[in-house]
Structure formats: structure tokens, C-alpha cells
């Protein structure tokens, strides 16, 4: 049944259906309504989850690591500065191969203080070893929370996963979501089977040991091997989800009117929806434009991106964060994809939407229209910036 | 697609009724969005809330710049907030006021449709003291939503938050405003 809910509520609904054993969260700003909704579910006896309200996000992820190593199914949520404080322990969760799924309400990082959307927080966690998914709508937020849970817990993966949802435009906007029935969602996610749980006292194991130069490298190589398996598992789980739900999800990226496009945008998150409006408007005037939306951001789907852009002549990659002193992070990944495949369109990088600066379909259409005239020497361009 | 901009003050419940309006239109089989002006809210400070209502899936995630409807929950915002900015020339301005349509037209210079109702008085007489529910009734009437759906959804969504007695008072206010606006739409 279709319902109206915010992105925050969509995450909380998926979490209610997943019903993890432990949710550890920092309950104060910059925490989101996700924790608030979930605390209600716990209080009202709707879920049987141990809710651990801790004194910081660093402790939140630490409690998650402890609980996951003990053998529990664990989830959490954070945002912005919270992610920044938590990220040290996220590296540990990944290194210990703990399948902790975390919703990340994407908001900017200080200074100056700002509570609005951009992708600085997601980029900060980029190399931590968690897989990351970006969502376009509250529907995707709900769906990909369930999908992420199965990927994280897959035998070949056993890694933390981040489900990104844009601050305000997804987190605070009530929109139409069609959740699955509880039984269907629960069946899809399945029963959690811990691997070598600490609480299995009959089979004692060591977690988080010391690794000197003779083994550290091999362990990190094994971690890379695990995350490299994500695309295959992602596609399998996504296919199963699409079949069961009827949702039209196929691929690590979504190609929108790209087949005969000579110009295209590449974006993450909710901007993809706005970009579809821009593409449709220009298409109705006969302009050959398209959009590439990246669903799976880490591990980066190099091949899928290159093949999607194989026939496009001008590409604009939009980053919603500055990687200070460098080109945008998404741009760099797209450039790598194209060079490896020897696909070489004119490639441009646009920074937009920092600290919640709005991005409109008209602005995105302007980028597409002006793309052929951009001088190749221009390194970074900015959308909607006063200069 | 219809876009609606609500002008109220923090604590008057403009955000709440924008969400109820989304529920009402979901019941009508529409796709909807409801969102507050993005930012921290302070009691008494001017706030805006928005709706999008469409027969098709709503993909756009930007702010609303040229609404079809502007709804003034607090009359004092009529001058301080420039509520007609970007309002579509063929759009509708719905104002909580004891003034006449002509007076509001002179004050705002808006050339499109203007619907006035004294939502404060309606709320007061019904014993709720709130203008937001009457303004919701007015907007639903302007949008042409059937009364039965409006009543049912307000009962369902507000019933979880307030007592049966207060809910009935709100329904009285809702109905009075719905009827007043319907007359206003037909007349103005």
C-alpha cells in the first residue's frame, strides 16, 4: 500500500522490518529522526532490539562493532559531524569484516556550521572500506536499506554498508513510498547467521588482533577482495528484490535516456530526479541528452560507468562536495573509468549544492546546453555560485 | 503538477497541515510531496511549507519557486513575506483575513484569483483557536477535493494526536472553512 513518509521514516520502516538485535546511536544533534522513530518502536514493544544510546558517534560505532563481533545483527544511523567522529571506528568495522548497515543523512561538514545537504560526509567515509549506495528518492531509501542488509551479510562480503540519503530533500520531504508487507520484507532480508561470534563460548576465537608487517598487508588485500565482490552480489540481490517487489531496478548505475545521447550528466543522489526533469525538457526540444545515476558508489563501478558513457561526446560530472585542492571525487572516479576503457569524451567537473544550495532542473538543463562550449582548460566549474 | 506554498509562523501548524494535505491527495490517488522550509524552526518566526501534487510520479527535488497556490495562515505575513513572489499569474492566493477580496487585491497587487476567509474567527468559534485546520479546509476546497475524503483523512491523521472532543471541534472548523472557500472560489 502506498504511504506518505519522509526519507527518515523510510529508513526507520526498513529497520523495523529488519529488526536488528542491536541499534547503537548517539541520540543528540546531528542525529536524525531515524533514531527517534526507532526508539519509539523499541519503547512501544514493536521491535525487540537492544537500543544503546551512547555519548558520541565514536561510541555508537564502537558499540556496533562490539555487538556485531558478539554475533548480533546491528544497524545505526548518523549524519555530518557525527559521521566525521564515527569514521575512525568505521575503518575498524570494515577491517573486522562486520556487516553493520548505517543510514547516512548527507549533510555538510563544518566550518562554517551548516545543517544542510551536501556529500562531504559520504566522501569523508569513502575509503573506510564500507560499501556505499546513493538513493534518489525515499522509495529507493527504503528499498536499498533492505538490499544493503542482504549485501552486507552475504558470506562473500561481510562488510559494513552505508545507505546515503540527501539531507532535507530526502530526509525531511514527505513523499510517496510503497513499503513491502512485513512478512515479505523479513523473508527477503532473511535470518542473520553470525560468523565466529564471540559469544559462542564453545568455540573461542580472537577478534581484532595485532598484525605486524608480516600479515597486515595480506589482511588488507583480503579486505579489498571482499569489497570487490560487492558488485556481483549487489546485482544478484537487486535482481531478487526487483523480481519480488516489481521495482524496475537493474544495474550498478541507472542509465536514463543515454542510448543515443551525445551529452550527459553524471550525478549521485536526489539530484538524479531533478536531472531527469532537465533531460526530459531538452529531449522534448530534440536535444540528445541523458543522465547517468550512480547507485553503487563504493566499490566504484568502473566498467558499468565506462560502458554507459561509451558513445557520449560531452560528459558533465557533478560533485556535491569539494575535494580541496583536487578535482571532485566522483569526477576522478569517472575519469578513471573512462581512461581504463579508452573511452575519451570531453569530461567536465561541476561543483554544486554545497551546504544545501538548491539545484534546479533549469540549472541542470543549462549545464547540458552549454556543455559543447566549455573550454577544455577550465578545470572546475560551479553551478549556482555567486562570484 | 500543482505547487503550493504555505506562509505561517512557527507553532501555527502550517507544516502539519501541509502534511495532512499530502495524505488527502494520496487518498485521491495522487503523487505528493510535503516539506517545510529547510532549516531550524523557531516559534513565532515566519516559516514556509510546501506541497507538490501530481498525477504522475514526482521526480523533482528542488525548492518551489513559482507556486500555483500561496496560502497565508498568518495575515501579518501578507506584507512582510511577499507571499505573491513567484505566484503564478493564473494562480490563487488564499488568505486568512477579515478583509474583503478587493482589499487584499489592493494590498498585494495580485491579479489572479483571491480567496479570503476569516480562519481565526472560524477557529475561535469552533473552539480550537487554530487557523491551520480551517486553512487546510480552504485549500482542499480550492483544489476541488470531495468533502468526504477531506474529513476522513483529517480524522485519521489528527485523531492520533488530539482528543475526540478537540477533533470534532476541528472538523467543525474544517467544514466551515471548506464551505466558505467553496463560495469564495465560485464568487471570486
Instruction: Encode pLDDT of A141-180 as tens digits.
Output: 999 999 999 999 999 999 999 999 999 999 999 999 999 9
Q: Distance of CA A170 to CAs A142, A165, B34, Å?
A: 11, 6, 11
Closest chain B CA to residue A170: B61
Q: Which residues in chain B are contacts of A174 at CB distance < 8 A? A: 19, 22, 32-35
pLDDT value for B39: 66
Domain with residue B73: its CATH number is 3.40.920.10
User: Measured between CB atoms, does A29 come within 8 Å of chain B?
Assistant: no
What does DSSP assign to residue B104? H
Residue in the structure block whose three cell numbers are 545507505 = A163
User: Measured between CB atoms, does B109 come within 8 Å of chain A?
Assistant: no
Min Cα distance B129 → chain A (Å) is 27
- The DSSP string of A64-122 is HHHHHHHT--EEEEEEHHHHHHHHHHHHHHHHTT---EEEEEE---SSSP--S--SHHH
A255-382 classified as CATH 2.60.40.1180: no
Percent of chain A with pLDDT over 90: 95
In sequence order, the β-bridge partners of residue A290 are A264
CB contact under 8 A, A273 and B61: yes
Domain borders along chain A are 3-243, 255-382
Beta-carbon pairs below 8 A across chains A and B: 62
Question: In chain A, which among 103-122 make CB contacts under 8 A with chain B?
Answer: 115-116
Full domain range(s) for residue B13: 2-187
Min Cα distance B98 → chain A (Å) is 32
Whether pLDDT at A376 is above 80:
no
Question: Nearest by CB to B61, which of A2, A4, A274?
Answer: A274
CB contact under 8 A, B59 and A170: no
Q: Which residues in chain B are contacts of A172 at CB distance < 8 A? A: 35-36, 38
A3-243 classified as CATH 3.40.50.970: yes
CA B18 and chain centroid, separation: 7
From first to last of the 188 residues of chain B, give the pLDDT tens digit.
Answer: 999 999 999 999 999 999 999 999 999 999 999 999 866 678 899 999 999 999 999 999 999 999 999 999 999 999 888 899 999 999 999 999 999 999 999 999 999 999 999 999 999 999 999 999 999 999 999 999 999 999 999 999 999 889 999 999 999 999 999 999 999 887 65
Min Cα distance B102 → chain A (Å) is 35
User: Measured between CB atoms, does B40 come within 8 Å of chain A?
Assistant: yes
Cell numbers placing A13: 520502516
CB contact under 8 A, A358 and B26: no
Question: Nearest by CB to A175, which of B32, B38, B40?
Answer: B32
Grouping H, G, I as helix, E, B as strand and the rest as coil, residue A29 is: coil
Number of C-alpha atoms within 13 angstroms, CB side, residue A136? 22
- The DSSP string of B5-67 is EEEEETTS-HHHHHHHHHHHHHHTT-EEEEEEPSS---TTSEEEEEEEEESS-----S--SS-
What kind and span of H or E run contains A314?
Answer: strand A314-319
CB contact under 8 A, A360 and B26: no
pLDDT value for A100: 98
CB contact under 8 A, B34 and A174: yes
Gap between the Cα atoms of B80 and B77, Å rounded: 5
Amino acid at each position: 500500500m502506498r504511504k506518505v513518509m519522509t526519507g527518515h521514516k523510510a529508513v526507520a520502516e526498513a529497520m523495523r522490518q529488519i529488526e536488528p538485535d542491536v541499534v547503537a546511536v548517539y541520540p543528540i544533534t546531528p542525529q536524525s529522526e531515524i533514531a527517534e522513530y526507532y526508539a519509539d518502536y523499541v519503547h512501544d514493544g514493536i521491535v525487540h532490539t537492544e537500543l544503546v544510546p551512547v555519548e558520541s558517534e565514536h561510541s555508537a560505532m564502537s558499540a556496533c562493532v562490539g555487538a556485531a563481533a558478539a554475533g548480533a545483527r546491528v544497524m545505526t544511523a548518523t549524519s555530518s559531524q557525527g559521521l566525521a567522529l564515527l569514521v575512525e571506528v568505521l575503518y575498524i568495522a570494515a577491517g573486522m569484516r562486520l556487516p553493520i548497515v548505517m543510514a547516512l543523512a548527507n549533510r555538510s561538514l563544518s566550518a562554517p556550521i551548516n545543517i544542510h545537504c551536501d556529500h562531504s560526509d559520504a566522501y569523508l567515509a569513502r575509503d573506510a572500506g564500507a560499501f556505499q549506495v546513493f538513493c534518489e528518492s525515499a522509495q529507493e531509501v527504503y528499498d536499498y536499506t533492505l538490499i544493503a542488509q542482504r549485501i552486507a551479510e552475504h558470506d562473500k562480503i561481510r562488510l559494513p554498508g552505508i545507505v546515503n540519503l540527501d539531507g532535507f530533500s530526502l530526509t525531511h520531504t514527505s513523499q510517496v513510498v510503497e513499503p513491502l508487507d512485513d512478512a515479505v520484507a523479513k523473508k527477503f532480508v532473511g535470518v542473520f547467521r553470525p560468523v565466529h561470534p564471540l559469544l559462542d563460548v564453545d568455540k573461542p576465537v580472537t577478534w581484532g588482533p595485532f598484525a605486524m608487517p608480516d600479515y597486515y598487508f595480506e589482511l588488507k588485500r583480503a579486505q579489498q577482495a571482499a569489497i570487490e565482490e560487492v558488485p556481483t552480489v549487489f546485482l544478484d540481490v537487486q535482481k531478487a528484490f526487483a523480481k519480488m517487489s516489481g521495482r524496475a531496478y537493474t544495474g550498478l548505475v541507472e542509465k536514463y535516456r543515454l542510448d543515443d545521447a551525445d551529452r550527459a550528466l553524471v550525478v549521485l543522489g536526489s539530484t538524479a530526479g531533478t536531472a531527469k526533469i532537465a533531460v526530459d525538457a531538452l529531449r522534448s526540444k530534440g536535444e540528445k541528452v541523458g543522465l547517468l545515476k550512480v547507485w553503487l558508489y563504493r566499490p566504484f563501478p568502473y566498467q558499468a560507468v565506462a560502458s554507459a558513457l561509451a558513445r557520449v561526446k560531452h560528459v558533465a560530472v557533478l560533485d556535491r562536495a569539494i575535494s580541496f585542492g583536487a578535482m571532485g571525487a566522483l569526477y576522478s572516479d569517472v575519469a578513471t573509468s573512462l581512461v581504463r576503457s579508452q573511452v575519451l569524451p570531453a569530461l567536465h567537473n561541476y561543483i554544486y549544492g554545497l551546504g544545501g544550495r538548491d539545484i534546479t532542473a533549469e540549472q541542470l538543463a543549462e549545464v547540458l546546453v552549454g556543455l559543447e562550449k566549455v573550454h577544455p582548460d577550465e578545470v572546475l566549474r560551479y553551478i549556482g555560485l555567486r562570484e | 503538477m500543482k505547487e503550493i506554498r504555505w506562509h505561517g509562523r512557527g507553532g501555527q501548524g502550517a507544516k502539519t497541515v501541509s502534511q495532512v494535505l499530502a495524505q488527502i491527495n494520496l487518498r485521491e490517488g495522487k503523487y505528493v510531496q510535503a516539506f517545510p522550509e529547510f532549516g531550524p524552526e523557531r516559534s513565532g518566526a515566519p516559516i514556509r511549507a510546501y506541497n507538490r501534487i501530481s498525477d504522475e510520479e514526482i521526480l523533482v527535488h528542488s525548492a518551489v519557486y513559482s507556486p500555483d497556490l500561496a496560502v497565508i495562515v498568518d495575515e501579518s505575513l501578507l506584507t512582510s513575506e511577499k507571499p505573491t513572489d513567484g505566484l503564478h499569474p493564473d494562480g490563487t492566493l488564499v488568505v486568512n483575513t477579515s478583509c474583503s477580496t478587493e482589499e487584499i487585491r489592493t494590498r498585494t497587487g495580485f491579479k489572479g484569483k483571491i480567496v479570503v476567509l476569516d480562519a481565526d474567527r472560524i477557529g475561535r468559534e469552533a473552539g480550537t483557536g487554530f487557523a491551520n485546520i480551517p486553512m487546510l479546509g480552504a485549500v482542499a476546497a480550492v483544489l476541488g477535493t470531495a468533502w468526504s475524503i477531506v474529513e476522513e483523512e483529517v480524522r485519521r491523521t489528527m485523531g492520533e494526536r488530539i482528543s475526540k472532543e478537540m477533533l470534532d471541534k476541528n472538523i467543525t472548523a474544517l467544514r466551515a472553512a471548506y464551505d466558505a472557500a467553496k463560495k469564495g472560489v465560485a464568487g471570486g
